[in-house]
Structure 1
Amino acid sequence: MKVWIKYLLGAFIGILVAFIFPSGNAGFVSVMSFLSELFIRTGRYIVIPLIFTTAIESVNKLRTSKLLLKTTSLTFLIIVASTLILTFVGLISILIVKLPRIPITVDVAAEIKGINVKQLILSLFPYSGFAALLDGSFLLVSLVAAFLIGWESASEEIMFKPIFALADSASKLFYNIATFFTEIMSVFCIAIVCFWAVQFRGIIEMGIYTPMILLLFVDFLIVVGVIYPLILHFVCHDPHPYKVLYASIAPMVLSFFSGDANLALPLANRHCRESLGIRRRSRGFTYPLFANFARGGSALVSAVSFILIWRSYSSLGISFFDVLWIFALSFGLSFIFGGIPTGGAFILLTILCNEYARGFETSYLLLQPASLIMGSFATLLDTVTAMFGSYIVAVKTKMVEHHTIKHFI
């Protein structure tokens, strides 16, 4: 059975269970919450070892073949371009479609986790190099350490051959372990989806957030069904641009229902290799970069959400300079969310509200009940972007072995 079928089947069973059991059953909700958290932690267990060892091998090979600069440049070019596109799509859609206002309620502002940019920068270089393997959320920390090892091991190939051989073997070992994890995650997905569906029932029953959800869904369809395939067709001259979308089904399912940008990484890595044929030296370096920096999904969702809040608070039109400010801040801040694998879209919205001020400081509370679905769409878009971006880089650097669709896992 194809992997994507297993994940879709797990998602269907999870939703079915959620609607069979009453959402008001506190015991059932508590059990599903515990199992969801447990299985998400289980899925992320192998992420750092896989990323660290594979990145060492990738950087070493890329430097040896003199493709490191080209690969890095293409990756960051696509990251910036995709974030621009997603932010633009979000703003245009919400400016064209005037969603119904959300009723303003009086709530007490809760303490919202912020972003300490200085601390994020300092965390890239912990006091001990071994500490780079301890942070399971901020993948860039371990990626920096892997880059340094991979770079230096390529400078003296004979002297550091044992180091490279160890990393190479460990990478293959962790890939095999990750393959096992991705298989069992299709079963664990049932609990994750079930808990998501229980929370989603509460959101959808309110009715006031349904138009926003539909708009985000349409934006998703436009991006993955039209924009990304067109870019792939013209940039890579690929006659079958939708094959990347087909290869992304399972990672999309897992990322959407978990809302975790890191959880789907082993599954996406497996599809990059076994479905799209991306060589390890490319995907081992490019995909983690996309996972850390390509957070255009959060920019799109936060831009849509902020303008929806604006229109709920005021009947005045939005000036061009305000739109430009929203675009610039959503676009610019999205690049520093690498250390926040979950809930980045809502946190970015709180920053927009606080930075804009003028009585909007606590207006994010209007959308706090819908933060679950905001995170789901943001992570979904980010995962698709990473898949398309990794494939484009691999094609342009000739590090892909094309497979026929019937051989996709």
Structure 2
Amino acid sequence: MNISFRYALGASAGVLLGMVLPLAGGDTAALLTELSQLVILAGRFLLFPLVFFAMIAAVDELHTKGALGKAGMLSAVVLFLCTVVSTLLGGLAILAFSPQRIPPMVQEGRITAPPSLIASFLEAIPANAFRVFVLDDGALAGILLMALLVGVSFKHDRSVSSPLSLVVDSANRIFYRMNRLLVGILGVLVLLPVAALTVLLRDGADLGLFSQFLLVLIVAVLVMAVLVYPAILYLFDRRRTHPLRWLSAMIPVAVAALGSGDSFFSLATLTRVNRDSLEIPRAVGASVSPWVALYGRAGTALVSMAGFLLVIRSYTALDIGLGDLMLLTVSTVLYSFFLARTPAGGVLLMLSFLASRYGRGMEESYLILLPVMPLLERIGAFLDMMTAGFVTQIAATRGQGEPRR
């Protein structure tokens, strides 16, 4: 069965299941939440060894071709531009369409302290290199950095590195086959996270207050993911990149992100889509996608910017000028690159950061968005992963590798 069709079918079944199940005083939501967490953990189970060995092999191949620097620079520039444009779009959408203000509500919730930027670096780079393999589940950056260094070192003495490169290549192929099988199973199991989200939205009593905001937000995200990205890909390579084909191939990644709100879970699906559906060479897909999924938070930035402006407009009568918008954009874009240790929940952390820095005495104001926070996280994750697919495709179409035959 086609992987896109399988994920679409699983998501449809999840929505249907979530609509027909009784709410039962919250018991249904609690059960589905636990089951969806089990599915997400299963989807992330193979990710670290998969990206570790794939990154080494991919970096070695690009470094041997002399294309590593070009691929990295191109990906970084495109990612930065995507994040800036998305953040601006989120802010302008709120200012232009002025969705309904949200009346101040007392929400039960603990203020999330934004992580220290310096602490983020310290946690990502341990003093002992072996510790990157035993750190917590958010420490993918250390794994990628270690793989990058190993891959670069292979070129210097082939007589020494050739035996290890064969082991790395074999390990990568084995883990890819395992992940390919797992992703195929997840196409069915994704119905559980989707059903959990559906039940949670059914049980939300305050969703009507956020309807206009959610509509503006969804339209802004779709403009980027469904219009801007495919159009740019078509302009970059009209012969091989058809917009509808790319969108169809990205359906599993979109469903995984919307269902889980977790970039690590979705990265496992993107890895299979890159090779099987989009035919992106391993040298590009394995070296670009993990870094972009880790640091590319264009969707999280868009949702956070839009949410914070809504909160400010709801609590005050202050006008947001162009200067204020640019200042918020710069802060949001820069801070988005420090969410690498947060594969899920980035919107909440970003809002906490913006409120603490620009809340003007209303540091708790963002808590009024808690009723729709699960949905906001998933909308942000959707655009995050579509951005990862977009940047990877750009890197592949700009001479970093030919499609597999």
Corresponding residue number in structure 2 for 1:8: 8
Q: Which stretch shifts more, 4-13 or 371-380? A: 4-13
Report the alpha carbon displacement of residue 269 of structure 1 after superposing the two structures with TM: 1.0
Report the alpha carbon displacement of residue 109 of structure 1 after superposing the two structures with TM: 5.6
Contact 1:193–1:257 (8 Å) recurs in 2: yes
**3-state secondary structure, aligned to 2:24:** coil
Corresponding residue number in structure 2 for 1:235: 236
Corresponding residue number in structure 2 for 1:407: none
Contact 1:189–1:254 (8 Å) recurs in 2: yes
Cα distance between partner residues in 1 of 2:56 and 2:283: 9
Normalising by the residue count of structure 1, what TM-score does the alignment of the two structures yield? Answer: 0.94
Report the alpha carbon displacement of residue 290 of structure 1 after superposing the two structures with TM: 0.8
Corresponding residue number in structure 2 for 1:74: 74
Report the alpha carbon displacement of residue 29 of structure 1 after superposing the two structures with TM: 2.4
Corresponding residue number in structure 2 for 1:406: none
**Which of 331, 334, 353 does residue 333 from structure 2 map onto?**
331
**Which of 253, 256, 259 does residue 255 from structure 2 map onto?**
253
Corresponding residue number in structure 1 for 2:272: 270
Corresponding residue number in structure 1 for 2:87: 87
Corresponding residue number in structure 1 for 2:96: 96
Which runs of no fewer than 5 residues in structure 1 stay unpaired? 404-409
Residue 184 in structure 1 maps to residue 206 in structure 2 = no
Matches within 5 A, 1:9-408: 9-107=9-107, 110-134=110-134, 135-203=136-204, 206-238=207-239, 240-401=242-403
**3-state secondary structure, aligned to 1:14:** helix
Cα distance between partner residues in 2 of 1:198 and 1:319: 39
Cα distance between partner residues in 2 of 1:322 and 1:88: 12
Cα distance between partner residues in 2 of 1:46 and 1:402: 24
Contact 1:229–1:241 (8 Å) recurs in 2: yes
**3-state secondary structure, aligned to 1:397:** helix
Cα distance between partner residues in 1 of 2:359 and 2:325: 15
Report the alpha carbon displacement of residue 360 of structure 1 after superposing the two structures with TM: 2.0
Cα distance between partner residues in 1 of 2:29 and 2:359: 37
Q: 1:316 to 1:27 in 2, by over 3 A?
A: closer
Contact 1:276–1:402 (8 Å) recurs in 2: no
Cα distance between partner residues in 2 of 1:225 and 1:164: 39
1:96-144 CA-to-partner distances (Å, cap 9, x unmatched) read: 1010110112346613142122222122322332322234323211000
Contact 2:83–2:333 (8 Å) recurs in 1: yes
Cα distance between partner residues in 2 of 1:257 and 1:77: 29
Cα distance between partner residues in 2 of 1:144 and 1:168: 18
Normalising by the residue count of structure 2, what TM-score does the alignment of the two structures yield? Answer: 0.95
Q: 1:51 to 1:144 in 2, by over 3 A?
A: same
**3-state secondary structure, aligned to 1:365:** helix
One-letter code aligned to 1:190: L
Report the alpha carbon displacement of residue 398 of structure 1 after superposing the two structures with TM: 4.1
Contact 2:71–2:400 (8 Å) recurs in 1: no
Q: Which stretch shifts more, 110-119 or 61-70? A: 110-119
What is the CA RMSD across the aligned residues, in angstroms? 1.7
Contact 1:342–1:375 (8 Å) recurs in 2: yes
Cα distance between partner residues in 2 of 1:402 and 1:391: 14
Q: 1:108 to 1:253 in 2, by over 3 A?
A: closer
Q: 1:27 to 1:366 in 2, by over 3 A?
A: closer
1:240-262 CA-to-partner distances (Å, cap 9, x unmatched) read: 23322221001100111100011
Contact 1:39–1:192 (8 Å) recurs in 2: yes
Q: 1:75 to 1:206 in 2, by over 3 A?
A: closer
Report the alpha carbon displacement of residue 270 of structure 1 after superposing the two structures with TM: 0.9
Contact 2:59–2:283 (8 Å) recurs in 1: yes
Cα distance between partner residues in 2 of 1:388 and 1:191: 27
Q: 1:86 to 1:395 in 2, by over 3 A?
A: same
Contact 2:236–2:397 (8 Å) recurs in 1: no
Contact 1:75–1:289 (8 Å) recurs in 2: no
Report the alpha carbon displacement of residue 196 of structure 1 after superposing the two structures with TM: 1.2
1:179-218 CA-to-partner distances (Å, cap 9, x unmatched) read: 1110111122121111111112233753111112111211
Cα distance between partner residues in 2 of 1:316 and 1:336: 29
Report the alpha carbon displacement of residue 357 of structure 1 after superposing the two structures with TM: 3.2
Cα distance between partner residues in 2 of 1:177 and 1:33: 26
Cα distance between partner residues in 1 of 2:88 and 2:244: 22
Displaced runs of 4 or more, over 4 A:
none
Contact 1:204–1:210 (8 Å) recurs in 2: no
Report the alpha carbon displacement of residue 390 of structure 1 after superposing the two structures with TM: 0.3
1:241-292 CA-to-partner distances (Å, cap 9, x unmatched) read: 3322221001100111100011011211111111111111111110011111
Report the alpha carbon displacement of residue 222 of structure 1 after superposing the two structures with TM: 1.0
Report the alpha carbon displacement of residue 397 of structure 1 after superposing the two structures with TM: 2.2
Give the share of equivalent positions with the same residue, in percent: 29
Cα distance between partner residues in 2 of 1:292 and 1:14: 27
Contact 1:244–1:388 (8 Å) recurs in 2: no
Cα distance between partner residues in 2 of 1:69 and 1:206: 47
Q: 1:223 to 1:60 in 2, by over 3 A?
A: same
**3-state secondary structure, aligned to 1:160:** helix
**3-state secondary structure, aligned to 1:114:** coil
Cα distance between partner residues in 1 of 2:88 and 2:232: 16
Cα distance between partner residues in 2 of 1:58 and 1:294: 20
One-letter code aligned to 1:335: F
Contact 1:245–1:384 (8 Å) recurs in 2: no
Contact 1:105–1:366 (8 Å) recurs in 2: yes
